[in-house]
């Protein structure tokens, strides 16, 4: 197994072991949490792709000795657990922090290497592949990163001035990404506030509440597992619970189901149908989105409810706002049946859901205001995706020497 991060070294930079570039490479110790302290413990949740998250650190006893204290400029590397292992960031805080046993500290010898260069190498796709290949299963059956392998890891090292120039370029890009992420978070809060205000307006404008069963046709989808065969059947794409997210559909991975041709109309979706999840984890309960009809025909499975609104009374987009609101979520939580940590709702309870029904013109205004915010969010998400793609290309150019800083 190679001890080198396999980044293409296009310009022949010297290569060094991390143990020779760092003054310290060590994991922290088991934390001792307390309710209040001026000392804080760094765990894996503190190490984010966007940088160090101080809000995730927990108060730690100041009486404990023989702890590893973090210093400004330390590289923090998550070293245990599937899904978190290999995530890294630079520590630049002023308060007193200790590091727990799930995080490795790499303290650079700054006469040899900029810590940001080490972190960029570890975070690169080559670094991530290397770290994944140097894991083992520890005594607690948890995946862990091998410290001995980490010590021997070899990386290309340009001169310090070039390292710093590269790091400053990547820092500037990261700052732009961070700003975009913060903007998205603010827009999400704005949308949440708009939904809350819209539902309050709808309640005030409503002459009365009506049961959802009076306002829409509600039906479950096709049951999987007993698929017919022969010329009387047809194979079609269908939506699963995993495809139905909060306010949108994730159709990146669609599956097929075979049904009788005579059943296609029964289980087909139309543009404007609201799909709601029957259950699962609490965060999936009643989750839904309005189908736009871009894929036809398209079926849906039996763990989803298709709500087909009577447009004389209610808009599907308005109903989606209500079902995703605090009031809607509270209703689903109240009526859900819980078994084995899973919660479910049935069609009878869904039909009984009381919905405020303002005039259609009020519904249109409410939907339009939310839609404008949603479109802004979608544009920002696309810009963020484009920026991340550009950064990936820039990282590869700079770390390989294809482009010199």
| pLDDT per residue as tens digits for the range 206-243 | 768 899 999 999 999 998 887 777 778 899 999 999 89
HEC secondary structure over the chain: CCCECCCCCCCCCEEEEHHHHEEEEEECECCCECCCCCEEEECHHHEECCEECHHHCEEECCCCCCCCECCCCCEEEECECCCCCCCEEECCCCCEEEEECCEEEEEECCCCCCHHHHHHHHHCHHHHHHHHHCEEECCCCCEEECHHHHHHCEEEECCHHHHHHHHHHHHHHHHHHHHHHHHHHHHHHHHHHHHHHHHHHHHHHCCCEEEHHHHEEEEECECCCCCCCCCCEEEEEEECHHHECCCCECCCCCEEEEEEHHHHHHHECCCCCEEEECEECHHHCCCEEECCCCCCCCEEECCEEEEEECCCCCCHHHHHHHHHCHHHHHHHHHHCEEECCEEECCHHHHHCCEEECCCHHHHHHHHHHHHHHHHHHHHHHHHHHHHHHHHHHHHHHHHHCCCCC
Residue pair 134/1 in contact (Cβ under 8 Å)? The answer is: yes
**239 in the same domain as 304:** yes
pLDDT at 325: 87
> What is the overall mean pLDDT for the chain?
90
**Rounded to whole angstroms, what are the CA distances from 362 to 193, 247, 314, 369?**
18, 21, 11, 11
Is residue 342 situated within a structural domain?
Answer: yes
User: In which band, very low, low, confident or very high, does the pLDDT at 139 lie, cut at 50, 70 and 90?
Assistant: low
Is residue 177 situated within a structural domain?
Answer: no
pLDDT at 59: 95
- Residue 94: pLDDT over 70: yes
Nearest in space to 286 (alpha carbons), one of 250, 239, 251, 334:
334
- Residue 106: pLDDT over 90: yes
What share of the chain has pLDDT > 70, as a percent?
Answer: 97
**139 in the same domain as 35:** yes
**344 in the same domain as 221:** yes
What share of the chain has pLDDT > 90, as a percent?
Answer: 59
User: In which band, very low, low, confident or very high, does the pLDDT at 1 lie, cut at 50, 70 and 90?
Assistant: low
pLDDT at 208: 81
pLDDT at 228: 79
Q: pTM, whole model, 2 decimals?
A: 0.67
Is residue 162 situated within a structural domain?
Answer: no
Residue pair 131/363 in contact (Cβ under 8 Å)? The answer is: no
**105 in the same domain as 30:** yes
Report how far residue 34's alpha carbon sits from residue 55's, in angstroms, rounded to the nearest whole number: 16
- Omega within 30 of 0 (cis) for the link into 58: no
Is residue 311 situated within a structural domain?
Answer: yes
Q: How many residues belong to the chain?
A: 405
| pLDDT per residue as tens digits for the range 351-396 | 999 999 999 998 998 888 888 888 888 888 889 889 989 899 999 9
CA-CA-CA-CA torsion sign (113, 119, 123, 127)? positive
Pairwise pLDDT comparison (130 vs 83), residue with the higher score: 130
**150 in the same domain as 221:** no
pLDDT at 340: 64
- Residue 198: pLDDT over 90: no
Residue pair 357/208 in contact (Cβ under 8 Å)? The answer is: yes
**75 in the same domain as 142:** yes
Q: Average of pLDDT values for 283-303?
A: 89
Is residue 187 situated within a structural domain?
Answer: no
Question: In the beta sheet, which residues pair with residue 136?
Answer: 144
**145 in the same domain as 224:** no
| pLDDT per residue as tens digits for the range 305-354 | 999 999 999 999 999 989 988 888 889 988 888 776 678 889 999 999 99
75-78 and 337-339 beta bridge pairing: unpaired
pLDDT at 246: 85
**128 in the same domain as 48:** yes
Count of structural domains within the chain: 2
- Residue 138: pLDDT over 80: no
For residue 273 the two structure tokens come to 């149908």
**293 in the same domain as 216:** yes
- Residue 164: pLDDT over 90: yes
pLDDT at 140: 62
- Residue 35: pLDDT over 90: yes
Phi, psi of 313 (to 5 degrees): -120, -35
Burial of 189 (0-12, 13-18, 19+ CB in 10 A): exposed
Is residue 194 situated within a structural domain?
Answer: no
Range of the domain at 109: 15-157
Supply the CATH number for residue 131's domain: 3.90.220.20
Nearest in space to 57 (alpha carbons), one of 47, 69, 43:
43
**216 in the same domain as 145:** no
Is residue 324 situated within a structural domain?
Answer: yes
First to last CA, the chain: 32
pLDDT at 372: 84
pLDDT at 196: 80
């Amino acid at each position: 197994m190679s001890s080198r991060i396999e980044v293409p070294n296009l310009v022949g930079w010297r290569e060094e072991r991390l143990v020779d570039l760092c003054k310290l490479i060590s994991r922290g110790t088991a934390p001792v949490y307390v309710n209040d302290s001026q000392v804080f413990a760094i765990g894996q949740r503190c190490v984010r792709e966007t940088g160090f998250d101080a809000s995730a650190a927990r108060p730690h006893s100041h009486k404990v000795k023989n702890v590893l204290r973090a210093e400004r400029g330390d590289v923090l590397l998550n070293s245990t657990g599937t899904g978190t292992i290999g995530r890294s960031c630079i520590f630049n805080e002023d308060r007193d922090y200790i590091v727990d046993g799930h995080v490795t500290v790499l303290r650079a010898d700054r006469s040899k290497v900029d810590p940001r260069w080490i972190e960029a190498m570890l975070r690169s796709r080559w670094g991530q592949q290397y770290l994944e290949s140097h894991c083992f299963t520890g005594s607690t059956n948890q995946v862990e990163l091998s410290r001995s392998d980490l010590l021997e890891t070899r990386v290309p090292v340009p001169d310090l001035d070039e390292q710093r120039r590269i790091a400053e370029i990547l820092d500037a890009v990261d700052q732009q990404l961070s700003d975009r992420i913060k903007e998205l978070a603010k827009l999400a809060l704005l949308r949440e506030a708009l939904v809350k205000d819209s539902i309050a307006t709808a309640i005030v404008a409503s002459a009365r509440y009506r049961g959802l069963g009076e306002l829409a046709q509600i039906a479950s989808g096709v049951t999987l597992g007993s698929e017919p065969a022969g010329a009387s059947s047809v194979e079609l794409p269908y939506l699963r619970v995993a495809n139905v997210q909060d306010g949108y559909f994730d159709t990146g991975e669609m599956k097929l189901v075979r049904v009788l041709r005579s059943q296609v109309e029964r289980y087909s979706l139309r543009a404007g149908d609201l799909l709601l999840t029957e259950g699962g984890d609490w965060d999936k309960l009643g989750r839904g989105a309005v189908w736009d009809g871009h894929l036809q025909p398209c079926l849906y499975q039996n763990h989803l409810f298709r709500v087909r609104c009577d447009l004389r009374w209610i808009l599907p987009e308005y109903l989606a706002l209500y079902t995703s609101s605090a009031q809607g979520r509270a209703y689903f939580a109240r009526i859900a049946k819980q078994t084995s940590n899973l919660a479910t709702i049935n069609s009878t309870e869904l039909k009984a859901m009381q919905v405020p029904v303002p005039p259609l013109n009020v519904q249109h205004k409410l939907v339009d205001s939310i839609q404008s915010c949603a479109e802004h969010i979608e544009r920002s998400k696309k810009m963020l995706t484009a920026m991340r793609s550009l950064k990936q290309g820039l990282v590869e150019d700079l770390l390989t020497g294809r482009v010199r800083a």
